Amino acid sequence: MSRNLIGACVAMALAVTTAGCGSSSGEGSGGALEIWIRQVPNSPSHKTAQKFVAEFEKASGVKTKLVALFDDFETKLQQQAQAKDLPDVVVNDTARLGNMQHQGWLREVDRTKLAGQDKVSGLAWKAAQAGDGKYYAAPLSAQAFALIVRKDWRERLKLAPPKNWDELAALAKAFTEKDPDGNGTADTYGFVAPAGTKRGYASWYVSSLVYANGGDFLKAEGGGRFTPSVTDPKTVEAVKWMQDQFCTAKTVNPGAVSNDTTVTHTVFEKGQGGIYLVGPYVLARFVKSVGDDKIEVIQVPKGPSGGPGTLGEGENVYLMAGSRMETGQQKFAEYAISAAGQRIGMNGDAEGPIVRLPVNTEVDMGAERKDARWKVFADAYPNAVYTPPVPDWTPFRQKAADAINAAWADCSKDVKASMEELNTVFAAELTTQKAS
């Protein structure tokens, strides 16, 4: 099938089923393998990706074209689909699998025919599996979440690392009220948080607290069926605990309810807050911008009702349907999961890794990275929880973010009532996706 016909196939998939739009004519006649990656152009991560792709070219002989985009990445993919010109490969978040597969953009990956697939961890493979049980990607990178904390502030106030949520709240309160930076001005806060609604950030942020407390958003019932679980007392407790930080203790940086991660990174670097629940991808950046001796990484404490657990995430290599370069796609996926590819993507201890935690079990992270703080993230990963494999997780994350953000922005909101309303919304969405 000509690649120019992919738009028609995508439209059919949108209207009828989630079936892919596969190529029937095999390898194309020349051209470059077009690879899109969700990174800020000219950022350290983009430069790592450039090095990764260059080494892939040398190893495979496949000519490539790398495109780095960040703002409105998904919107631009939609535009390319409408223009009937999707790229051959997309490197994107694991949580986007359902949405992309649902629109018919992805071709199925036969895991058994992917060289080196047996070296990839089983947990990482789960992130490449859709609700129908089939695989539509190859894992590239994994991550769990932890607390990046201003160690110098904590030590100046003579406080111990928090081991439970009460101690975590106390640390945040001390950072807010006791002038941890010693400048004589009340200009610091405990938590910095990307708690806005853009791309569902509020629900993304609170996910690790929900999982650390034994809660969840959806409960799997088997056979690709789910029921909402946002009214689970453990889930409600986690959302309420964070509302208390916003509204009662007032330990969260001002403006957090409007912020995404790009803004929140800067807030942390400017010393406006001292506790950031985030993934390992910013560790090297903060070591450089804040100071190696000023930050530490602490595992997310168990919640009062559960744990341990954090959100599990990463990036997948998605092989786009309709490509005339299926052999090139296959080679790129195999290189991505190989030990050689993983090591290049990790980028040592330097800023800008595109492989955070390696998915290849033969890669020794300790040998590649000397910064022991990475180990905290690695130790959290076995208990990480990936987003549920519903046909499309995106609307769930967005609807949850809207409800949770509203509860944090409006202190008069009753969290339990808000979660009950969200439960009804989730039930309707499950019905729409035929997953209830």
Q: pLDDT band for 132, please (50, 70, 90 cuts).
A: confident
The pLDDT value given to residue 307? 85
Render pLDDT for 338-355 as a digit per residue (tens, 0 to 9): 999 999 999 999 999 999
Q: Among 19-23, 166-170, 293-297, where is mean pLDDT lowest?
A: 19-23
Cα dihedral 134, 342, 294, 153 in deg (nearest 10) = 10
Percentage, residues of the chain above pLDDT 90? 88
User: Do the bridges between strand 64-69 and strand 33-38 make them parallel or antiparallel, or are there none, so unpaired?
Assistant: parallel
Contact present, 111 and 93 (Cβ < 8 Å): no
Render pLDDT for 396-413 as a digit per residue (tens, 0 to 9): 999 999 999 999 999 999
The pLDDT value given to residue 102? 85
* Higher-confidence position of 23 and 226: 226
Q: Please tell me the distance from the alpha carbon of residue 20 to that of residue 36, in angstroms, as a whole number.
A: 19
Contact present, 128 and 91 (Cβ < 8 Å): no
User: What structural domains does the chain harbor?
Assistant: 3-143+312-374 (3.40.190.10), 146-311+393-432 (3.40.190.10)
* Higher-confidence position of 131 and 23: 131
Q: Please tell me the distance from the alpha carbon of residue 21 to that of residue 326, in angstroms, as a whole number.
A: 13
Q: Which two tokens stand for residue 170?
A: 């106390």
Neighbours of 24 (CB within 10 A): 7
Contact present, 363 and 393 (Cβ < 8 Å): no
**Global pTM?**
0.87
The 8-class DSSP code of residue 1 comes to -
Q: Mean per-residue pLDDT for 276-285? A: 95
Render pLDDT for 231-255 as a digit per residue (tens, 0 to 9): 999 999 999 999 999 999 999 999 9
Residue 80 has pLDDT above 90, yes or no: yes
Q: Among 6-20, 167-181, 275-289, where is mean pLDDT lowest?
A: 6-20
Q: Mean per-residue pLDDT for 124-146? A: 95
With 0-12 / 13-18 / 19 or more C-beta atoms within 10 angstroms meaning exposed / middle / buried, residue 119 is middle
Q: Please tell me the distance from the alpha carbon of residue 341 to that of residue 68, in angstroms, as a whole number.
A: 18
Render pLDDT for 21-51 as a digit per residue (tens, 0 to 9): 433 333 444 589 999 999 999 999 999 999 9
The pLDDT value given to residue 224? 85
The 8-class DSSP code of residue 120 comes to B
Q: pLDDT band for 222, please (50, 70, 90 cuts).
A: confident
Q: pLDDT band for 131, please (50, 70, 90 cuts).
A: confident
Of 306, 135, 141, 285, nearest to 208 by C-alpha is: 306
Strand (E) or helix (H) holding 192: strand 189-192
Residue 4 has pLDDT above 50, yes or no: no
Residue 13 has pLDDT above 50, yes or no: no
